[in-house]
Structure 1
Amino acid sequence: MAVTASMVKELRELTGAGMMDCKKALNETNGNMDEAIEYLRKNGEAKAVKKAGRIAAEGIVMAEVKDDKTAAIVEVNSETDFVAKNADFQAFVKAVVDQAIASESKDMDAFMAEAWNEDASKTVKDVLTEKISVIGENLSIRRFEKIVSDGCVVAYIHGGGRIGVLVEAETDVVNDEIKTCLKNVAMQVAAMSPKYVSREEVSQEYIDHEKEILLAQAKLENPNKPENIIEKMIIGRLNKEMKEICLLDQVYVQDGDLTVAKYVEKVAKENGANMTVKKFVRFETGEGIEKKEEDFAAEVAKQMAGN
């Protein structure tokens, strides 16, 4: 497959690697993007595998909790930040959250086809279409999630709606201290963006895949070290990665002497509670959406041609 400038640009955005490293990786893998990312990681050239696509769309995330047990979070997108800050748009998003918290729908198609709570003669999609006409921008109800808990759910919104988080815990005590603890955990999720609650959620497939990457990196960096030493290095690096991607293993931001798990355990003990963090949902506005941007493929092509 011929490697194009746009392919190099995409790989560069995904990995943070240099332009010529990206070109080489694509040539070595016959233009396969996933294999090119693997190639760069194994050769230590990918600074970080970023989320597919750029966080560039406008809009807001909003969440609501009812009676500490039922919660919903939604992301509604707009074309401009100006509209995202508009009171009419924000009131519409609030109505969408109210719709979601009452909804029994399990996916967006069903949600959009629901009767609108404030006017049953219209569907959610109808109301969205009307709002697009009034505001004069393309709007999108992109996603929602609802949690119904036997324990407690809290919400946290950061940056005026840029990031929203729900955290659910199984707990036999629900009081202000417990809710404050879970709000602090939600702030941790917003700031540190973990992938999992705990190591128990991490699949063996993911662990095996990461071991393969780490092995290639370790052998590249330490070509003369024996296999048993390399194996210990891999275990150490994998444990470090688990502490970054698993919420309960992360260092608690507000007290570096504790992990999140130890912090939750401490608060639970102080309140005579049996409490376990069960789930979190984290929405970031525009996450994974590619916004229209100035095309610099010509610049990439020029640099490629010169090397």
Structure 2
Amino acid sequence: MMDMTAPICEDGLNSPEMVDFMKSPLKFDLYIMERGLVPCFYGVAHAVGSPPVVGLVTLGAYHYIHWNDGNPDNPAYTPWWIHPYSDHLSFWQRHYSSYVWLYSNLVLSNVVLPKHETIQKNYFAHPNVKVFITQGGLQSFNEATYYGVPLIGIPFMGDQHYNGEKFVAAETGYRLQFRHVTKDTVLKAIRTVLEDPRYRENMKKLSAVYREHQAQSMPKAIWWIEYVLRHKGAPHLRSGAMDLSWYQLLLLDVVAFVLAVAATTTLALYSLARYLTSLILNAKKHKTE
């Protein structure tokens, strides 16, 4: 995924439309941008008057986005969405997830709006749709969940592996690796999902939970955009974590202090024990003499 960022930045920032836009004398009250993949477009905000920025993420958010915004982000149970892990990680998965978390935050250093396509929604709503074969993208995952349709995922890239792991863990879908796709494996996957009632039952339960959220995305997005404009960037919502150094955010200074106190106390007790032992042995030696 990181190999994609440079071409996206170069093509986007060097396009004639973007060059003309940044040279334009127009200034704006608000800057809305996609934050999912590359950070290079933040600079465009300064070219249009440095207005407040509203970021939307149509995939899972990168670790460095959470870091920059001061959002809670623990790699022990929130792996990066490009990895095929669920929220229950093994030791080695947590080890790798922590490494990636540190790398993406230290080196690479919202409003999430789901997107729906009317044509695809019409298919999901049809009563004869019993299973949905998908690459595992977030929007397709959301739509299938809303309509209670079990999934067969064939992930290729990005968040698709992570989403596939999520619906496999929830027993709402079946995952196939593309390199293993044959007529027989696809038929096996379809029969498994159709003939095992757990998949539809679990998806119906998940759909009921999903439908509890009745707020519509568009009115909610408009309200928050207008809210940011009314309150001039809404600085009162800014997380205090954004003012902390990386070692303060990770509590490394506190850990270092506690370890230093513990080490000093241990050394003092050890020295005291040696001193008292020496006194006792000397006292015994003098008595013997």
Structure with the bigger RCO (C-alpha within 8 Å, sep 6+) is 1
User: TM-score normalized by structure 2?
Assistant: 0.22
**Greater helix content:** 2
Higher Rg: 2
By percentage of residues, which structure has more strand? 1
Return the TM-score normalized by structure 1: 0.22
